[in-house]
Amino acid sequence: MQTTINYRYERSASRLTVGAHLFGILALILLLVWLLHYRGGIDYDSDNSDRVFNVHPFLMFFGFIFFAGEAMMAYKTVMSGHKVQKYVHALLHLVALCSGIFGICINDMYSLHSWIGLTTFILYGLQVPATFLFSRGMSESSRLRIVPWHMSMGRALLYLSICAALTGLMEKFAFLRISNVLGRRESHLINFTGLSILLFGIFVDLSVALARYV
Amino acid sequence: MQTTINYRYERSASRLTVGAHLFGILALILLLVWLLHYRGGIDYDSDNSDRVFNVHPFLMFFGFIFFAGEAMMAYKTVMSGHKVQKYVHALLHLVALCSGIFGICINDMYSLHSWIGLTTFILYGLQVPATFLFSRGMSESSRLRIVPWHMSMGRALLYLSICAALTGLMEKFAFLRISNVLGRRESHLINFTGLSILLFGIFVDLSVALARYV
């Protein structure tokens, strides 16, 4: 009976990863439509400061959050041995870390978005290398003891990064609205992008946690 | 060995609830200082529309999010039998639901904050009564099967409500800043309030989930 139930939740958890992929890709498409069609495009090396700025939301969502989320789900999505899953998990986190380093954009440290964003990135920037370094010299039993803390920290960081993304969208939204350049369509687009990012986070989180609830 | 580890995580989980209480109370104090000292006070029945508006953040954080979080932790914080814990859990959720009904404030459905907030409240407004109704006629084994879903749904809703609170703070922040009425002190106060709310959410979530990771 217990095995049947566990199996049921494992299956549900892998269905949740499908949901996470879908919401992640949906958020990416909506974000690209917003940045390319409404906000003048994305260009790292341009005279137009808006286009340079647009690199930030793109890299922070697609490069950082999306890859970090995929890394968290690697143990469920990669149909292979534990060792391969572990390498994919580490590789995807490295991609996320590098994207974050290129994508972070500190104009000022005034708003709630910048506070949450920088906190997230510093903690993430500590967790990824710390995991690499500490887990090397550890015995199997110490490693197993660390796992719940590593997962909890990772989940909290995902939570933080989603909050950073949403406060960022909300900040941009408020400035565009006050400047009277925000039409009804663009505002809906921003909101749907925000909801998709939020649902991506929820699905990643549940897929990681659900099978462990039994 | 397994029992020792489980016990260790149970102890850690109850320490996390202490962290949750502290951040919850800190957030409440900061929010009150902000609303009472910087934003003109809180009054449900006033001619000053700002004071009437201030009821909304107060009730939505203290009445809704804080009580819902405490309800989620009741199984860890109430040192009593399972039945008493269950009643406290239900009672605190009812207080949260009622506060939400009084505190919700729909001026327009334009911003990301309003979208996330209303989604959260509708889903919460379905989950609480649905749990009361469905769990009554259920056998013990069906109930046990539902628990992981109930917990996952609850955790996702906590996640949503924290995002609603932070986007709300960010929206107000941006409008105050654009209107040039936001000093350095007030902006720091808003940011610390936001971070405390976020940490409250993370601590509640981890205290519920940590003991289950083993």
* 10-residue mean pLDDT series, chain A (214 residues): 56 87 98 97 92 96 98 93 93 96 88 95 91 82 83 91 97 93 95 97 89 52
Pull the structure tokens for residue B170: 């960010």
Cβ separation A162–B163 shorter than 8 A: yes
Determine, for residues A166 and B166 on separate chains, whether the beta-carbon distance falls below 8 Å.
yes
B198 interface with A at CB cutoff 8 Å: yes
Interior angle at CA A166, CA A116 and CA A29, nearest 5: 130
Q: Quick one: tokens of B54?
A: 């201030």
pLDDT score, position B214: 39
Residue A25 near residue A66, CB atoms below 8 Å: no
User: Is A166 in Cβ contact with B167 (below 8 Å)?
Assistant: yes
| Residues B108, B175, B122, A34, CA torsion sign | positive
Position B34: which residue type? W
Q: Looking at CA atoms only, how far is residue B159 from chain A in angstroms?
A: 8
The reported pLDDT for the residue numbered A141 is 85
Euclidean distance between the first and final Cα of chain A, in Å?
Answer: 12
Residue A70, chain B, CB below 8 Å: the answer is no
Per-residue model confidence (pLDDT) at position A6: 59
- In B6-61 the beta strands, taken as DSSP E runs, fall at none
Structure tokens at B146: 């539902």
Is 2.60.40.10 the CATH classification of the domain at A2-212? no
H, E, C per residue of A27-71:
HHHHHHHHHHHHCCCCCCCCCCHHHHHCHHHHHHHHHHHHHHHHH
Task: For residue B158, give the chain A residue with the closest CA.
Answer: A202
Q: Do A173 and B9 touch (CB under 8 A)?
A: no
Determine the pLDDT at residue A2: 47
- Across the interface, whether the CB atoms of A162 and B166 are under 8 A apart is answered no
Write down the H helix ranges in chain A: 2-33, 49-53, 55-58, 67-77, 82-103, 112-136, 140-178, 184-209
**Terminal alpha carbon distance of chain B:** 12
CB pairs A-B closer than 8 Å: 139
CA atoms within 13 A on the CB side of A168: 28
Which residue ranges in chain B fall short of pLDDT 50? 1-3, 213-214
Interface membership of A75 toward B (CB under 8 Å): no
CA distance readout (Å), B45 to A67, A178, B48, B213 = 49, 29, 9, 48
**Contact residues on chain B for A206, CB-CB shorter than 8 A:** 152, 155-156
CA distance B175 to A176: 11
pLDDT, chain B, mean: 90
User: A188 at the B interface (CB within 8 A)?
Assistant: no
| Interface contact B29, partner A, CB < 8 A | no
Pick from A147, A167, A175: CB nearest B166: A167
Of A111, A148, A201, the CB nearest to B214: A148
